[in-house]
Chains A and B, each alone.
Chain A
Amino acid sequence: MEWLPFSTAEWVAIRLSLRVATVAALTSLPLGILVAFVLARKRFPGKALVDAVVHLPLVLPPVVTGYILLMLFGRRAPIGAFLEQTLGIVFSFRWTGAALACAVMGFPLMVRAIRLTMEAIDPRHEQAAQTLGASPLWVFMTVTLPLAFPGVLAGIVLCFAKALGEFGATITFVANIPGETQTIPSAIYTYTQVPGGDEGALRLSVVAALISLCTLVVSELIARRTGRRGVNIE
């Protein structure tokens, strides 16, 4: 890799960013599908509240989201302490915390993409499956989920792309520690804070742009291979 003009620290940031974004997108997927399904198909009291909470990271200043995460998942915070004692999972100042911050920030985009495709599915397809003897769980597995696949794919891509670019919540929650929580945006930010860092900032910006572009192209290809048009997310 010596022919590429990256320093070791930059490579570390790129790899960390990819890992954080992948983990964020994939671990939040099951919950994302569940929440999208509930919002698309179920009616229950307090639905508007759930909807609002899911969308909150979209409208809150990212710094505020990061601060809330710090208050909830810090080592001395209620949830953070509980998770450390019972499961040994630590978020604060770890790359796992960066992944959590990215997942929270990307969650509304993921849920929105999946929910829109699920709402577009004719409920009579699901009813037809029911009359053919499929229990609600089987209907979900054999009808709803396969038909919502383009939306699920779009949700993963959007969450992944959001995670690659996430900065405010991450730096507030888990700071900017090289090799642990310094993702590409944090590294670019560090470069812009030191004299002569412009070149490094430019290199990483190009990388960020290329990764985002590749993500979009790959998802488009998969969507075409499944024989359906990609979903439109406004």
Chain B
Amino acid sequence: MISFACKLARPGFDFDVTFQSNAGITALFGPSGAGKSTVIRLLAGLTRPDRGHISIADEVVLDTDRQCDVAPHKRRIGMVFQDAQLLPHLSVRANLGFGRWFTPRDLRRIGFDPVVEVLGIGHLLSRRPDSLSGGERQRVAIGRALLTSPRLLLLDEPLASLDEDRKLEILPFIEHMRDEFGIPTVYVSHAVEEVARLASRVVKIENGHVIATGTPAEVLAPTSLAKAAGRFDALSILSGRVSRYVEDYGVTIVDHPAGEIVVPGRIEPSANAVRVVIRATNVTLAIGRSENVSVRTVLAGRIAHIETDGGPFALATIELKGGEQLKAYATRLAVDRLGLDAGDHIQALVKAVAIDERGISGLHVVDQV
């Protein structure tokens, strides 16, 4: 349990953020320069607010009204910086052991071997940080933070400095870590897919203020045409269960009440629901069966409402079988020509290749064999 309330005024930047969070991953989401990293630095004690109150696991670590400010090294927070920040003069093993060494013996809950195994860094232990790839460095940084047995884990855009392939390599490790060690985590990102895939709760920050809080589906889906920052950011989150992996084609079939969703890559079947992020610009609407198209993912539903503002675009909200909502962008022209209206039964077509792998929970990327 974290409770956070801080105010900070700097020339050209006014910061006033309040939020609470529980177990699981809380995502701080928003554009660059919104103040997300400031939240992280305040939580870690690396920046001091003008006024503020922070408590972590029921211990007050900052209260400017009562002159309380626990030093960063006493807060027992694990922090992962955007660019790993491994200590360059120490080996990977020494980097991993660094924080553990400063952790009192009776507070060490997390063992060295499980961390090394979960993050897959056993073969790197004797290497120097400058000989690691970006993805390897980031995994070691996560392991190093975990090994302090922190009460709270802070991940400050851990994937931002990596290329797309490396991002996909790290995401399953972060999910595995979340499920394995159960440490409350604050995850900073401006990538919707990452947030949708990992977070149980999203705090959306803009210009130093919280503008929305809730589940990923509540915060990330556009509520209206006008409020969508841009149509390319509008998305829906569907959850289903892994049906099967089709090895010949390298795709996984996810069962959803409205139909089968084909996603690229392999997802291990598990009891957990799989989240699939679908961008509203990647949904095609069709009336009746449409067999002769390349799209394999066809979801059945009913148009809840269509929003237009006189511009070229229309945003349709589709109520899928099973109750989940799917957002779809179309041109107003298409909506009028097809005569689409609220209440119509339609098919929503989603191209599998347009699904960003980052937005599929549990996904392991399948490289060409």
Which A residues form the contact surface with B (CB < 8 A)? 122, 124-125, 127-136, 138-139, 142-143, 146-147
Q: SS class of chain A's interface: helix, strand, loop or mixed? A: helix
Contact among B73, B78, B87, B88 for A130, CB-based, below 8 A: B73
Q: Hey, which chain B residues are within 8 Å of A125, CB to CB?
A: 85, 87-88
Q: Are B81 and A146 in contact (CB under 8 A)?
A: no
A and B contact pairs by CB, cutoff 8 A, 29 listed: A122-B85, A125-B87, A127-B46, A127-B72, A128-B85, A128-B86, A129-B87, A130-B72, A130-B73, A131-B44, A131-B78, A131-B79, A131-B145, A132-B73, A132-B78, A132-B98, A132-B99, A132-B102, A132-B145, A133-B73, A133-B102, A133-B103, A134-B98, A135-B73, A136-B73, A138-B102, A139-B73, A146-B89, A147-B88
Decide: A124 and B98 in contact? CB cutoff 8 A: no
Name the B residues within 8 Å of A134 (CB-CB). 73, 98, 102
Report the Cα distance A164→B144, complex, angstroms: 47
Q: Is B148 an interface residue (CB 8 A)?
A: yes
Question: Given A133-B99, A133-B102, A128 and B81 touching (CB < 8 A)?
Answer: yes
The 8 closest A-B pairs by CB, nearest first: A133-B102, A132-B99, A131-B79, A128-B85, A130-B72, A146-B89, A130-B73, A133-B73
> How does the 8 Å CB contact mask read for B143-163 relative to A, with 1 for contact and 0 for none?
011001000000000000000
CB contacts (< 8 Å) of B274 on chain A: these are: none
Within the assembled complex, what's the spacing in Å between the Cα atoms of A100 and B76?
46
Which one of A122, A128, A136, A138 has the greatest number of beta carbons of chain B within 10 Å?
Answer: A128
Query: Footprint of A on B, CB under 8 Å?
Result: 44-46, 71-79, 81, 85-89, 98-99, 102-103, 144-145, 148
A-B contacts besides A124-B85, A147-B89, 14 pairs, CB < 8 Å:
A127-B44, A130-B46, A130-B71, A131-B75, A131-B79, A132-B98, A132-B102, A133-B73, A133-B76, A133-B102, A133-B103, A134-B102, A135-B71, A143-B87
- Give, as a whole number of angstroms, the nearest-CB distance from B74 to chain A: 8
Q: How far is the CA of A119 from the CA of B74 in the complex (A)?
A: 26
Distance (whole angstroms) from the CB of A100 to the closest CB of chain B: 34
- When distances are taken between beta carbons in the complex, the residues of chain B under 8 Å from A131 are 44, 46, 72-73, 75, 77-79, 99, 145
Partner of B79, one of A128, A135, A143: A128
Q: Give, as a whole number of angstroms, the nearest-CB distance from A163 to chain B.
A: 29
Bound form: Cα–Cα A111–B63 in Å: 39
Question: Closest CB-CB distance, A153 to chain B, in whole Å?
Answer: 14
- Cα distance A69–B35 when bound, in Å? 54
- Chain B residues whose CB sits within 8 angstroms of the CB of A142 once the complex forms: 98
A138 to B72 alpha-carbon distance, docked (Å): 13
CA distance in complex: A125, B79 (Å): 12
Check A129/B77 contact, CB under 8 A, given A122-B85, A147-B89: no
CB distance from A119 to the nearest CB of B (A): 16
Residue of A nearest to B44 (CB): A131
Whole-angstrom distance between the alpha carbons of A133 and B102 in the complex? 5
B148 touches A132 (CB 8 A): yes
For residue B99, which residues in chain A have a CB less than 8 angstroms away from its CB? 131-133
Nearest residue (CB) in B for A123 is B46
CA of A160 to CA of B265 in the docked complex: distance in angstroms?
64
B76's nearest neighbour on chain A, judged by CB, is: A133
Q: What are the residues of chain A within 8 A of B86 when measuring CB–CB?
A: 128
> A124 to B86, alpha carbons, bound, how many Å?
10
